[in-house]
């Protein structure tokens, strides 16, 4: 069977790396981050390093990385890397997302971002949603203590979008890896060598790729999710399932992602943004976050050049903007419906 390809103007690459331990829950529900300080990217942007395809896990890719001509949003022609990836991570398990009973503990559910905090989605958390959101219309659980969960691919597809099927209001939305088409391949383009943009550009679609090939997605549309009195938790690794593009991250937690230790206590590298600049974890080995981050959550040093640091898992905003040029069209939504979008008209 010929793989079904979803072509997106984003990112991808190849290689092998050390694998971090399997997914771990955030150390505390309050996983905030220090506020990024606005400022101009440092002069080291002028010596940006090329994207290194060997840093990506081969198991997360669907084929060899290719160099192709491309056009940046500025209109400049350059060389890009075309990366084809599979729809699920190869280095950690996915889920769980939704507890099934109000008596279930933290091991049965994932996390949910609200007001900068990554809350554990326990049975008790679901049972108290009406109080938590000060809205008596919440009724995700039943009198017998069971929780309404989207327990089929059909229900997942009907609930995981802004125009939620009315029959699936007051549900915990859970889409399983088994619901995905096994032949789904997603293609992404990123510049081979990052180029500083004239000014930062906003995050309108996806952000980049983790070293395991999984996509760092744009913020989840929590306003639309909550408007239907639904909850769409991330698992303890910060991800959930997009029925058309696969598993993706809305948050970065500790202990999950394949990473590259830096050797100087600096936060490890965990991926690349769509502009080609590296993405690093939020904090260094001592647990502290850099205090000199610019408005996009980036800074530079002599060892690494310019790079980003992700926000805390409660932010629902991995990065704030792009410092570099992205590929023309990368800011637009890819073809086909996303699980957080209605089908095309």
Query: Domain-by-domain residue ranges, the chain?
Result: 4-94+179-324
pLDDT, position 47: 62
- Measured over all CA atoms, what is the biggest interatomic distance in the chain, rounded to whole angstroms? 62
pLDDT, position 332: 58
Q: What is this structure's pTM? A: 0.85
pLDDT in tens, 7-59: 444 333 333 333 343 344 444 443 344 444 444 444 455 567 999 999 999 99
Q: How far is CA 51 from CA 2, 129, 200, 317, in A?
A: 29, 44, 20, 23
pLDDT, position 28: 41
Residue 340's pLDDT band (boundaries 50, 70, 90)? very low
Judged against a pLDDT cut of 50, whether residue 174 lies above it is answered with: yes
Q: Do residues 209 and 10 lie in contact, with contact meaning Cβ atoms separated by under 8 Å? A: yes
- Among the ranges given (1-10, 89-98, 323-332), the one the predictor scored with the smallest mean pLDDT: 1-10
pLDDT, position 71: 97
Nearest to 277 by CA among 319, 312, 243, 306: 306
> Over pLDDT 90: what percentage of the chain?
72
pLDDT in tens, 128-151: 999 999 999 999 999 999 999 999
Whole-number average pLDDT of the chain = 85
Tokens of 117: 């905090």
Residue 203's pLDDT band (boundaries 50, 70, 90)? very high
Interacting residues of 131 by C-beta distance below 8 A, sequence separation 6+? none
Residue 345's pLDDT band (boundaries 50, 70, 90)? very low
Q: How far apart are CA 180 and CA 177, in angstroms?
A: 6
């Amino acid at each position: 069977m010929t793989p079904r390809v979803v072509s997106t103007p984003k990112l991808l690459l190849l290689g092998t790396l050390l694998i971090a331990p399997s997914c771990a829950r955030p150390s505390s529900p309050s996983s905030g981050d220090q506020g990024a300080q606005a400022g101009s990217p440092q002069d080291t942007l002028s010596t940006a390093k090329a994207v290194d395809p060997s840093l990506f896990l081969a198991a997360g890719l669907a084929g060899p990385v290719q160099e192709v001509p491309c056009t940046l949003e500025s209109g400049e022609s350059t060389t890009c890397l075309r990366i084809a990836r599979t729809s699920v991570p190869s280095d950690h398990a996915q889920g769980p997302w939704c507890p099934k009973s109000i008596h279930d503990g933290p091991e049965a559910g994932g996390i949910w971002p609200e007001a900068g905090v990554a809350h554990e989605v326990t049975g008790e958390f679901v049972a108290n949603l009406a109080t938590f959101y000060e809205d008596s219309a919440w009724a995700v659980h039943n009198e017998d203590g069971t929780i309404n969960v989207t327990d089929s691919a059909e229900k997942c597809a009907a609930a995981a979008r802004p125009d939620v099927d009315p029959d699936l209001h007051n549900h915990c939305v859970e889409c399983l890896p088994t619901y995905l088409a096994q032949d789904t391949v997603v293609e992404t383009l990123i510049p081979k060598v990052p180029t500083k943009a004239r000014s930062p550009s906003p995050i309108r679609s996806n952000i980049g790729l983790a070293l395991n090939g999984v996509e760092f997605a744009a913020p989840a549309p929590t306003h639309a999710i909550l408007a239907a009195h639904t909850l769409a938790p991330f698992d303890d690794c910060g991800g959930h399932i997009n029925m058309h593009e696969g598993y993706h991250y809305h948050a970065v937690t500790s202990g999950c992602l394949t990473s590259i230790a830096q050797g100087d206590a600096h936060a490890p590298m965990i991926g690349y943004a769509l502009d080609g600049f590296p993405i690093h974890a939020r904090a260094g080995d001592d647990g502290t976050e850099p205090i000199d981050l610019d408005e996009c959550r980036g800074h530079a040093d002599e060892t690494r050049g310019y790079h980003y640091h992700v926000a805390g898992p409660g932010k629902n905003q991995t990065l704030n903007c792009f410092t570099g040029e992205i590929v023309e069209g990368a800011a637009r939504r890819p073809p086909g419906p996303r699980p957080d979008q209605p089908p095309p008209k």
